[in-house]
Amino acid sequence: MSEEHRIPGTPASGGHAFGAVHVYRRMRFNQAPVTIDPAEADAEIGRFRSACTDAMHELGRIAELAGSGGGDIITTHIEILRDPELRAGVESRIRSQHLAADSAVWGTFEQYLALMRGSGNPVFRERMVDLEDVRDRLLFRIRYDASQAVRLEGQILVADDCTPTELVEWARQGLKGLVLQGGGRTSHASIIARSLGIPKLVAASNALAGCTDGVPAIVDAETGWFVVNPSEATRTAYRERMAGYEAERARRLAIAGEPARTACGEPIVIRGNIEFEDELPAVRLHGAEGIGLLRTESFFLTPEGEGPDAQIRFYEAAVHACDPHPVTIRLFDVGGDKVLDNRVPEANPFLGWRGVRILLDRPELLRTQLHAIHTVAARHPGRLRIMIPMVADPGEVEAVRREWEAVAAGTGVRVPIGIMVETPAAAIEAAEYARISDFFSLGTNDLTQYTLAVDRGNPRLASRYPLAPTAVMRLVDMTVEAATAAGIEVAVCGELAADPESAAWLVGLGVRELSMAPASVPAVKEHLRRHTLADLQAAARNRF
Ligand code: PEP
Ligand code: MG
C-alpha cells in the first residue's frame, strides 16, 4: 500500500488536513490484548469499576426515559454489569494476566460469548446481543477515560461512523482531520466538526480498507478526496492549496466582526449554533451575534447527566460567551441521531419517540430544564429564549406552554418561548402555531428529511438530500408569510442558512435572522454584503 491512492468522500466540514492515519474500529475491538505493568493493576481495576458505575448510571437514566417501552432490556443490561462472576473475571484478568482494563473486558466477555456461540441455543443468541451491547458500552467508557485516551495530536482518524461525544473527545486530543465511511453532512457530528474547524469527509466508502495505522494521508474536505500515501508532487501541490485556504480563512476572520447587512444596508442578524461548551469561543471568534440554537442533548451523553446543576453551568457559560447578545436554548431534542450510542432501538428513530414527544411523556425532564433556564434568565434578564423541538401538533405546544406558565409564575421570570418549524405539519399550519408561539425558527435539516422522506444521515441517500429543494423552499415561504402576518420573528437555524447562496434566498424570502455553525458566519456575511435586498428578493422569487 505504498502507492498513492485516492478515495472519494463527501465534504462535511471544509479545509485540509495532513497527518498520519489512526484507524478506529469501534465495534471491532478484537485487537491483540494490551498488557500492563503489574504495579498498574489497581489503577486499571479502578478504571474498570468506574466504567461500570458510569454505564449503570447512564442505563438508569435511559431506563427512566424509556419507561415501560424498553425497561426490560435495560434491566437485563444492568444485571449483566452487576454480575459478580463476570466482574471477578475481568478483575482477575487484570491482576493475574496483567491485561489493560479494555483487553480484560474484551477477553472476559469473549469467553462467555464463545460458549453461547457454540451452544446453538436460540435463547442464548438473543442474550449474546445484550452481552455485546454491555461490552461495547464498557469499552466506550474505558476508552474515554481522558487520562488514558490515545493521543490524536496531528492525526487523521478513519472510522466507520462517530458520535458527537466522540468527536468532541477526539478534538480535545488534537485530532486534525476525520474520514468516515458512513455519516452525513447534517449529522450532529458533522455540524460540530464545522464548529471546531476539523476537516471531515463522510460517505468515503472503503476508507477503512484503504489505509492502515500510521500511513501518511491528506484529507481534502474542499474537493472531497482522502489521499492515502500522497506522492511528493501531491504533497507539494496540497501544501500550496492549504496555504491559500489558510490565507482565505484568515482574511474572512479579519472581517468576521463587520456588521451583517445587505449591500443596500438591510440589517440581518447572524447567530451561531452550539452544542458543546468547547464550541462556545467560536461564536465571538466568527462574528456571530449570540446563539440562535443551543442544542442541549449533550447532557444525555455525559456522566454528570441532565440534572439542574450541569444545565445551569452550561447556560451560564453560553450567556457569558455571547455577552451582550441573546441565547436561544432548545429544549432537549433526544432521539433520531441525537444520542447514537445508547438509545433503546426503534425501527424508525427519526419518526419515533423524540423531541417534544419525550418531554411531554417525561414531564420531570421538561420541568427540570425549564427551571434551570429560568434560574439563569433571572440573573440575566432579556438574554434567553426557549425553543420547542419537533412539534407536529399545536396541542404539544399548548402542553409545553402550560408547564412553562407554571415555572414562570413560580420564578417570576418570563422567558419568550417559540417553536422549531421542522416538520411539514408545523410549516403547513404555521398560522395556527403563530398564535401560540413567541417566535419561529426553521429547522431545515429535519424539514428537508421529512419533506423528501430522505434519512438525513444515510450516506447512500446523500445525493437525494439536496441543500434547498423547491418543496422545502415553499414550506419556508409559507412559514415566513404566516410569521410576518402574525408579527412574530422567524429565523432559520438549519444548515441551509450556512450556505451563502441559500442564505441569500432565505433573506430574499423575508428571513432576517440566520443561525449556523459559527465557522460559516464570515462567508455568509460576505455574500450578503455583496447583494441588495431587491436582488435577493428577485433571486428568491425565481426559485419558484
Ligand atoms: C434542524 O432540524 O434543522 C435543526 C436545526 O435541528 P437538528 O439539526 O438539531 O435536528
Ligand atoms: Mg431538528
Output the pLDDT for position 340.
Answer: 39
Confidence tier at 411 by pLDDT (50, 70, 90): very high
Ligand 2: centre distance to CA 240 (Å): 38
**Domain match, 166 and 279 both:** no
- Domain contains 153: no
Side chain identity at 409, as an amino acid letter?
Answer: A
Q: β-strand 291-294 against 327-330: which pairing, if any?
A: parallel
Supply the residue whose CA is at minimum distance from atom 1 of ligand 1: 443
Q: Name the band, by pLDDT with cuts 50, 70 and 90, for residue 188.
A: confident
Query: Are 368 and 306 a contacting pair, CB within 8 Å?
Result: yes
Q: Which of 354, 454, 493, 511 to mutate to test the pocket of ligand 1 (most atoms within 8 A of CB)?
A: 493
CB of 456 closer than 6 angstroms to any ligand 1 atom: no
Ligand 1 pocket residue status of 165, Cβ below 6 Å:
no
Q: pLDDT at position 168, please?
A: 79
Q: Is 260 found in the same domain as 244?
A: no
Atom of ligand 1 nearest to the CA of 496: 3
**The three grid cell numbers given for residue 365, joined into one nine-digit string:** 425532564
Identify the domain boundary among 250, 281, 312.
Answer: 250
Same domain, yes or no, for 339 and 462?
A: yes
In angstroms, rounded to a whole number, what is the distance separating the alpha carbons of residues 217 and 228? 4
Count Cβ atoms below 10 Å from residue 365 Cβ, excluding itself.
21
Among 218, 250, 282, the domain-final residue is: 250
312 compared with 160, residue with greater pLDDT: 312
**Same domain assignment for residues 68 and 169:** no
| Residue range 58-79: mean pLDDT, rounded | 69
Burial track 210-236 (b if 16+ CB lie within 10 A, e otherwise): bbeeebbbbbbbeebbbbbbbeeebee
Q: Which ligand is nearest to the CA of 337?
A: 1
pLDDT of residue 297: 87
pLDDT of residue 66: 58
CA of residue 423 to ligand 2 center, whole Å: 9
Asked whether residue 347 carries a pLDDT value surpassing 70, the answer given is yes
The answer to the question of residue 420 being in a domain is yes
CATH number at residue 433: 3.20.20.60
Find out whether 34 and 100 touch, Cβ atoms under 8 Å: yes
Domain identity same for 54 and 92: yes
Ligand 2 mean position to 489 CA, how many Å? 19
Q: Look up the domain containing 515 and give its range.
A: 255-543
Pocket of ligand 1 contains residue 446 by CB under 6 Å: yes
Q: Which three cell numbers stand for residue 271?
A: 447567530
- 155 located within any domain: no
pLDDT at 418 exceeding the cut of 80: yes
Q: What is the identity of the amino acid at 470?
A: T
| 97 and 47 Cβ atoms separated by less than 8 Å | no
pLDDT of residue 130: 78
Burial of 343 (0-12, 13-18, 19+ CB in 10 A): buried
pLDDT at residue 236 in the model: 96
Q: Is any ligand 1 atom within 6 A of the Cβ of residue 443?
A: yes
Model confidence at 500, in pLDDT bands (50, 70, 90)? very high
Q: Are 429 and 340 within one domain?
A: yes
Residue 537: inside a domain: yes
Ligand 1: which atom is nearest the Cα of residue 449? 2
Residue 342 pLDDT grade (very low, low, confident, very high; cuts 50, 70, 90): very low
SS3 content of the chain, % helix, strand, coil (to 5): 55, 15, 35
List, in sequence order, every residue forming a beta bridge with 21; answer none if it has no partner.
156
pLDDT at residue 118 in the model: 80
pTM over 0.95: no
pLDDT tens digits, one per residue of 364-380: 989 999 999 999 999 99
Which of 334, 388, 446, 495 maximizes ligand 1 atoms within 8 Å of its Cβ, making it the mutation to test the pocket?
Answer: 446
Nearest-atom number in ligand 1 for the CA of 186 is: 8
pLDDT at 28 over 50: no
Does the beta carbon of 445 sit less than 6 angstroms from any atom of ligand 1? yes
- Point out the domain boundary residue: 250, 276, 305: 250
Residue 301 Cα, ligand 1 centroid: separation in angstroms? 18
Q: What is the pLDDT of residues 129-186, one digit of tens each?
A: 778 878 878 887 787 654 444 578 899 999 988 877 678 778 888 899 999 998 887 7
Q: How far apart are CA 483 and CA 430, in angstroms?
A: 7
Clarify whether residues 434 and 382 are in a common domain: yes
Domain annotation covers residue 32: no
> Are 380 and 475 in a shared domain?
yes
Answer yes or no: do 88 and 190 share one domain.
no
CB 497 within 8 A of CB 231: no
Residue 262 has pLDDT above 80, yes or no: yes
pLDDT at 115: 85
Is the pLDDT assigned to residue 509 strictly greater than 50? yes
- For residue 418, the CA-to-ligand 2 centroid distance in Å is 14
Contacts of 323 (CB under 8 A, 6+ apart): none
Question: Residue 273: which pLDDT band, with cuts at 50, 70 and 90?
Answer: very high
Mean pLDDT (the chain) is 89
Write the CATH number for 232: 3.50.30.10
Active site members: 188, 493
User: Per-residue pLDDT for 463 more than 60?
Assistant: yes
The answer to whether residue 69 scores a pLDDT higher than 60 is: no
Claim to verify: residue 280 and residue 167 sit in the same structural domain: no
Nearest-atom number in ligand 1 for the CA of 445 is: 3
Domains in the chain, number:
3
Mean pLDDT for the stretch of residues 467-486: 96
Distance from residue 444's CA to the centre of ligand 1 (Å): 7
Q: Give the pairing type, strands 216-220 and 225-228.
A: antiparallel
